[in-house]
Amino acid sequence: MKKHLPVLSLVVVTALLLMPGRSRADERPNIVFFFADDQTTSTLGCYGNDVIQTPNIDGLAARGTRFENAFVSQAICWVSRTTILSGLTGRSFGTSANPDTARADAVESLYSDLLRENGYRTGYFGKWHAKMPAGYRNQDHFDEFEAIGRNPYYKKQADGSLRHETELIVDRGIEFVKNQPKDKPFALNMWFNACHAEDGDRRPGIGHFPWPRAVDGMYEDVQIAPPRLGAPAIFDGQPDFLKTTINRERYFWRWNTDEKYQTNMRAYYRMVSGIDGAIGRFMAALEEAGLADNTIIVYSADNGYYMGNRGFAGKWSHYEEALRVPMIVADPRVPKTQQGKVADAIALNLDLPATFLDWANVEVPKRYQGHSLKPIVESQKPADWRTESFHEHFAVRNRIPAYEGIRNERYKYVRYFDHGNHEFLHDLKNDPDELVNLASDPEHAETLKAMRQRTTERVAELGGPLDPLKNFSPSTVPHPEASAAVGTRADQDGFVRVFDGKTLRQWSGDSKYWSVQDGALTGVTDGSLKMNRFITWKNSTIRNFDLRVKVKVTAGGNSGLQYRGTSRPDLGLDIVTGYQCDVVADNPNYNGMLYEEKGRRILSHTGEKVIIDSSGQPWVVGQLAGSDAIKDFNTESWHDYRVLVQGNHHQHWIDGHPTADLIDLDEKGRSLEGVLAVQVHVGPAMKIQYKDFKIKHLPDDLPLLKAEDHPIPSDAYGVRPQGRLPKDWKAPVYGNR
């Protein structure tokens, strides 16, 4: 009997190794999945962008496989994410009545559950945003789980500091790796909120695209190329139902002027570089833990992004910019000959869960609709690899046009089934920018017919047609008169409420100084301020406008209505520079004047009519009748302030009395658009309050006043500058300059 013990022992050991949790963990690879938001391929160095700095992601591509033709099946956050978790397209994990919310049976077992059942330790940190059935407990599907969202991006820490969500997600990932048992493989998901815009905060730059502060200043001196497909004719050639959707509405939030475009693109690039830097930090920790040689790294994104191309803002439609995403796989175990290659295979987000399971030697469920990318990474594209991909969109169907269609190497066909089955057929070989719709071209009738039929068949295979749509609501007109008014609800006089009288929901500022008291936006300081502090309206930039507000300030108080301002994160997250209508309780020479914070400073004292010449020098060309009336300015009483700005013509009033009338001819120094803010000022303790705050957005195309039509008289004299001046100082005279 004893002579058989070694054989029996070998059988027992082998059986134990093949049990879940014990299946030769030292040889099975670890899997790390970095997942970005709202990123197409044009924003990475390894995909050809020679401006953006992404050395760590580029390094993954250099030693891995970069997929040149990777796409999502549906270009919207939550459907794409649920597709990866479930292995199913939206049409398959949802219902015909509610297709973008997962059925309970479709998400009962995620790929993470299958990995756990087979001995993997799983972690998930970051953006979730998957629409699961009622009562779904996402944390039950991972060993370690923490949903980390935006709103806001900067999270207050226990010590009072702020940390960006990108950094926090990687912090958690590094901690996960540090605590990894030696006898288990792991699968770690780090799903970023970046580079998604903060949609509720439309302040250009740090408000709309908040970046990790580690990349402050990057790209500040770079002029980023305009959208390659930004010609107005490209937008105007779209059907009406695409010209009035959310994609167009949000275009006016972030891309519709050169200045806004440059500011937001630099901020977006910083978000990408912030992700890249965080990935580098994680890779260093992985090396330090001795796990890098057996860890596969995947980088991808949940959908593409238009960034002003075609006159659009987000994703949500059928063009390449929305569907195409980066996909990079770095497997350190593959031969050197297979590293650093570019694969032309059509890859989908749908393929990722099958790939993860294949790497772990776990059987891929038959219900999964994607295919493992493992053979492509290790060797080459299989002979029977897909030659076409199915794409659709039906999320937010009442505001985003829904479509379905097929894409192959040569053609793309889609139909917008809620909009008269409007069809597109693009020849991707001869028209890669998809500028020509061949659906009505007789020469392509057979191709159209074949792809239409194949789409119908694929729809049936994936779950069938959706229920009819009841109502569709356009989001904007294609070319609004006042872009700042897009998406707003004005009263009968055309004014939009800037402050609701109850909350600071529409505002961004430090709660140490700002609150709501007695139905008013209230700023309080104790006299210890070292720098003026601001609270900024988040809902829109402002261009041409008529602003009305009631103001009450304590004796000694100093504040101001900041307009067409610029956020200055280099000075502080809440700091704003730019034009200002002063609120000064104790000095009638300053109350209601026009000042420029951190800029040209005093542009006009109260009661002065001023023209600023092309060099930035302000000249007093007259006095305003009635401005003396504001000398009797009672503190602790409410006063009516008005600011009217039309082009480069600025006017201020207090209680109906004019306090400033200025024409700004300084093209380099002036601003034609910016944010709205109010401030608390250095100096004595004070309290400032604003209520009945409202604004009317005026047309964007109001003409700019010109020097030839507003000559500066020879006897005009220079505005007295700020600061202590020599006793014998005399104002310069325009005619003697």
576-585, 622-631, 642-651: least confident range: 622-631
> Is residue 725 left, alpha or beta, with left meaning phi > 0 and alpha meaning psi from -120 to 50?
beta
Q: For residues 688 and 440, what is the distance between their CA atoms, to the nearest angstrom?
A: 64
Q: For residues 594 and 275, what is the distance between their CA atoms, to the nearest angstrom?
A: 41
Please provide the DSSP assignment of 582-621 as one string. Answer: EEETT-TTTTT-EEEETTTEEEE-TTEEEEE-TTS-EEEE
CA 599 to chain centroid, in Å, comes to 29
Name the band, by pLDDT with cuts 50, 70 and 90, for residue 698: very high
| 671's tokens | 């601003």
| Statement: residue 10 has pLDDT above 50 | no
Q: For residues 149 and 455, what is the distance between their CA atoms, to the nearest angstrom?
A: 36
| Statement: residue 23 has pLDDT above 90 | no
Q: Report yes or no: 660 and 594 within 8 Å, Cβ to Cβ.
A: yes
Q: For residues 32 and 722, what is the distance between their CA atoms, to the nearest angstrom?
A: 58
Tell me whether residue 394 is exposed, middle or buried, using C-beta atoms within 10 angstroms of its C-beta: 0 to 12, 13 to 18, 19 or more. buried
Q: What's the CA dihedral at 116, 119, 123, 129 to 10 degrees? A: -20
| Statement: residue 14 has pLDDT above 90 | no
Name the band, by pLDDT with cuts 50, 70 and 90, for residue 636: confident
Name the band, by pLDDT with cuts 50, 70 and 90, for residue 681: very high
Name the band, by pLDDT with cuts 50, 70 and 90, for residue 27: confident
pLDDT per position as a tens digit, 215-271: 999 999 999 999 999 999 999 999 999 999 999 999 999 999 999 999 999 999 999
Q: What's the CA dihedral at 36, 39, 44, 48 to 10 degrees? A: 150
| Statement: residue 144 has pLDDT above 80 | yes
- Taking residue 235's Cβ as centre, other Cβ atoms within 10 Å add up to 20
Please provide the DSSP assignment of 391-448 as one string. Answer: EEE-TTTTTS--EEEEEESSEEEEEETTTTTEEEEEETTT-TT-----TT-GGGHHHH
Q: Position of tokens 């829904």?
A: 402
Q: Rounded to whole angstroms, what are the CA distances from 322 to 72, 318, 468? A: 9, 7, 25
- The residue among 445, 172, 400 whose CA lies nearest residue 303 is 400
Instruction: Give the type of residue at 65.
Output: T
pLDDT per position as a tens digit, 49-102: 999 999 999 999 999 999 999 999 999 999 999 999 999 999 999 999 999 899
Q: For residue 338, what is the enclosing H or E element?
A: none
Report, as an integer, the average pLDDT of 416-436.
Answer: 98
Average pLDDT of the chain to the nearest whole number: 95
Q: For residue 560, what is the enclosing H or E element?
A: strand 558-567
Report, as an integer, the average pLDDT of 471-490.
Answer: 96
Q: Report yes or no: 564 and 578 within 8 Å, Cβ to Cβ.
A: yes
Name the band, by pLDDT with cuts 50, 70 and 90, for residue 24: very low
Residue 483's pLDDT is what?
Answer: 97
Cα angle 336, 121, 16 (rounded to 5 degrees) comes to: 90
Name the band, by pLDDT with cuts 50, 70 and 90, for residue 25: very low
Residue 16's pLDDT is what?
Answer: 39
The CA radius of gyration of the chain, in Å to the nearest whole number, is 30
Residue 1's pLDDT is what?
Answer: 39
| Statement: residue 522 has pLDDT above 70 | yes
Residue 112's SS3 state is: helix
* Percentage of residues in the chain having pLDDT higher than 90: 94
Instruction: Give the type of residue at 634.
Output: N
Q: For residues 353 and 596, what is the distance between their CA atoms, to the nearest angstrom?
A: 55
pLDDT per position as a tens digit, 159-216: 999 999 999 999 999 999 999 999 999 999 999 999 999 999 999 999 999 999 999 9
Q: For residues 168 and 461, what is the distance between their CA atoms, to the nearest angstrom?
A: 41
pLDDT per position as a tens digit, 321-379: 999 999 999 999 999 999 999 999 999 999 999 999 999 999 999 999 999 999 999 99
Question: Which residues, at least 6 apart from 355, have a Cβ–Cβ distance to it below 8 Å?
Answer: 298, 329, 370, 372, 373, 374
Three-state DSSP string of 269-307: HHHHHHHHHHHHHHHHHHHHCCCHHHEEEEEEECCCCCC
Report, as an integer, the average pLDDT of 287-297.
Answer: 97
- The residue among 726, 715, 712, 700 whose CA lies nearest residue 615 is 712
Residue 15's pLDDT is what?
Answer: 40
Q: Taken in order 212, 215, 217, 221, is the CA torsion positive or negative? A: negative
Per DSSP, 225 falls in state P
Residue 537's SS3 state is: strand
Q: For residues 379 and 365, what is the distance between their CA atoms, to the nearest angstrom?
A: 23
How many CA atoms, within 13 angstroms, populate the side-chain half-sphere of residue 148? 28
Per DSSP, 733 falls in state B
pLDDT per position as a tens digit, 503-519: 999 999 999 999 999 99
Name the band, by pLDDT with cuts 50, 70 and 90, for residue 723: confident
Q: Report yes or no: 592 and 651 within 8 Å, Cβ to Cβ.
A: no
Per DSSP, 321 falls in state H
Q: For residue 506, what is the enclosing H or E element?
A: none
pLDDT per position as a tens digit, 364-391: 999 999 999 999 999 999 999 999 999 9
